[in-house]
């Protein structure tokens, strides 16, 4: 679990005093994080990036840092679906899936379990590669 929040702070802060509330993301693929920041440039807030992913700590961190959406790769979504969701469920605006496309089963399980819109943010990358056929030599 991430360190406890300072009691007097209106929002979570890191050691340098910068706000850390807003978004939760799993550690790992830095390219996915950069792509997410580019796709949501108007988002006001900060990114919470744990040093390692823990399905057991994910929801307590999500709630403690007052996150309202998260982004993850397909494997992380599947792991979260196998663990019990918190009760009551926090208000989740949306869930981003970054990497290969989700199966329809996982897509609908995410929407139903977390009561949130699921955005597949990397599928456009896959579609863009397929949209232009290779040139003939």
Could you read off the pLDDT of 56-73 as tens digits, one per residue? Answer: 999 999 999 999 999 999
Distances (CA, A) of 29 to 52, 54, 110: 12, 16, 21
Please give the structure tokens belonging to residue 38: 């580019």
Q: Is the pTM of this model over 0.75?
A: no
Given a cut of 70, whether residue 115 has pLDDT beyond it is yes
Please give the CATH number for the structural domain made up of 22-129: 3.40.50.980
- What is the Cα–Cα distance from 89 to 61, expressed in whole angstroms? 13
């Amino acid at each position: 679990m991430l360190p406890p929040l300072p009691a007097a702070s209106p929002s979570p802060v890191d050691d340098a005093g910068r706000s850390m509330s807003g978004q939760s993301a799993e550690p790992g693929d830095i390219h996915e994080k950069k792509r997410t920041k580019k796709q949501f440039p108007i988002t006001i807030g900060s990114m919470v990036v744990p040093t390692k992913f823990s399905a057991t700590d994910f929801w307590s961190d999500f709630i403690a840092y007052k996150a309202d959406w998260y982004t993850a790769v397909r494997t992380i979504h599947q792991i979260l679906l196998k663990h019990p969701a918190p009760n009551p469920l926090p208000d989740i605006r949306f869930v981003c899936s970054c990497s290969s496309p989700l199966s329809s089963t996982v897509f609908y399980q995410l929407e139903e379990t977390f009561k949130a819109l699921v955005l597949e943010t990397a599928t456009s990358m896959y579609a863009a590669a397929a949209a232009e056929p290779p040139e003939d030599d």
